[in-house]
């Protein structure tokens, strides 16, 4: 059976010896006094990366994020009309005072199983959520939680709800999108195909992520690919960039831990192809850190890695 390491190497995401090509480019030499400084990269952070450390002191946390060098942020703290327990306009001012721009947000609706009976409930949720985020001034609004999809009918209903959410957001000049994990790369099988013989090289059924992409209106719904979870779903981000060009204007840049240290993510290839296919923005996301390291220290190392990388614009 093909191991995960063999699979990653086949995709070109894992390089010889486990080292990732081009990931440790030396920093550019400092400009001499009086010369024009190099243009600062726009690197965003998903604030979920900071965990409980961020909740301890939100105003100070925003200042720390900006001091590291991040210029944009994507919160994941919207609850009952507030952002991290602050009124959205107050949170926006806190970010502005810190020198940080809130460009996106992660929000989940109150239900996971979408039905004809609860479509209106979900739509009303997005109307209120979009109104609040319009006050926050975001460019994008993203759902990061996977709805229940166990059949093609479920997938069709999810796409219908996604398109409706996209329409609501578009009316407020906000882009609506969906963020994946690895579960979206499972397959659903039509009733008439169940029980048919298959093998691992020709699995039965359709990949849920593809059904989402094919069943949603590109003018209403974009996809914020999490490149790490795509690889964990044993799929190649580059193939999706090619197959669905233009559908991934925003990415989550993530690794097993600190960016560039696992030896399994070829970020140079990912960024190069993503730019060719319409990348507008990206956010760092960090979950696992080494013992003894704080989340803030972890996201600083991630920032430094991308800031030094020649393949990041």
Structural domains counted in the chain: 1
In a domain, 250, yes or no: yes
In a domain, 150, yes or no: yes
Give pLDDT, residue 302: 98
How many CA atoms lie within 13 Å of 268's alpha carbon, on the beta-carbon side? 15
In a domain, 189, yes or no: yes
CATH number of the domain encompassing residue 207: 3.20.20.150
In a domain, 36, yes or no: no
210 dihedral zone (left: phi>0; alpha: psi -120 to 50; beta): alpha
Residue-level pLDDT, tens digit, the chain, 313 residues: 455 555 555 555 553 333 333 334 434 334 434 334 567 999 999 999 999 999 999 999 999 999 999 999 999 999 999 999 999 999 999 999 999 999 999 999 999 999 999 999 999 999 999 999 999 999 999 999 999 999 999 999 999 999 999 999 999 999 999 999 999 999 999 877 776 766 667 778 999 999 999 999 999 999 999 999 999 999 999 999 999 999 999 999 999 999 999 999 999 999 999 999 999 999 999 998 988 999 999 999 999 999 999 999 9
Q: Which are the contacts of 155, defined by CB distance < 8 A and separation ≥ 6?
A: 149, 188, 208, 211, 212, 215
What end-to-end distance do the CA atoms of the chain give, in Å? 39
In a domain, 255, yes or no: yes
Give the domain range for residue 293: 41-308
Give pLDDT, residue 103: 98
In a domain, 177, yes or no: yes
In a domain, 2, yes or no: no
Q: What is the pTM of this model?
A: 0.88
């Amino acid at each position: 059976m093909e191991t995960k390491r063999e699979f990653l190497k086949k995709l070109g995401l894992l390089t010889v010896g486990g080292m990732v090509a081009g990931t440790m480019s030396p920093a550019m030499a400092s400009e001499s006094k009086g010369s024009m400084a190099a243009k600062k990269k726009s690197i965003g952070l998903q604030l979920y990366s900071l965990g409980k450390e961020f909740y301890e002191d939100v105003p100070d946390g925003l200042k720390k994020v900006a001091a590291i060098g991040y210029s944009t942020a994507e919160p994941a703290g919207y609850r009952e009309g507030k952002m991290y327990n602050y009124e959205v306009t107050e949170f926006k001012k806190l970010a502005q005072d810190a020198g940080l721009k809130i460009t996106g947000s992660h929000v989940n609706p109150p239900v996971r199983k979408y039905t004809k009976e609860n479509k209106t409930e979900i739509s009303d949720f997005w109307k209120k959520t979009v109104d609040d985020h319009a006050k926050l001034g975001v460019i994008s609004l993203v759902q990061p939680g996977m709805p229940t999809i166990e059949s093609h009918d479920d997938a069709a209903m999810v796409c219908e709800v996604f398109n409706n959410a996209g329409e609501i957001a578009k009316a407020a000049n906000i882009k609506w999108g969906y963020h994946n994990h690895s579960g979206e790369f499972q397959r659903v099988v039509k009733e008439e195909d169940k029980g048919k013989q298959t093998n691992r090289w020709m699995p039965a059924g359709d990949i849920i992520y593809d059904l989402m992409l094919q069943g949603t209106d590109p003018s209403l719904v974009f996809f914020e690919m999490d490149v790490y979870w795509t690889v964990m779903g044993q799929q190649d981000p580059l193939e999706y960039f090619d197959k669905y060009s233009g559908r991934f204007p925003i990415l989550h840049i993530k690794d097993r831990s600190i960016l560039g240290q696992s030896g399994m993510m070829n970020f140079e290839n990912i960024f190069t192809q993503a730019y060719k296919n319409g990348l507008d923005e990206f956010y760092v996301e960090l979950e696992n850190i080494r013992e003894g390291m704080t989340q803030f220290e972890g996201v600083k190392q991630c920032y430094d890695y991308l800031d030094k990388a020649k393949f990041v614009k």
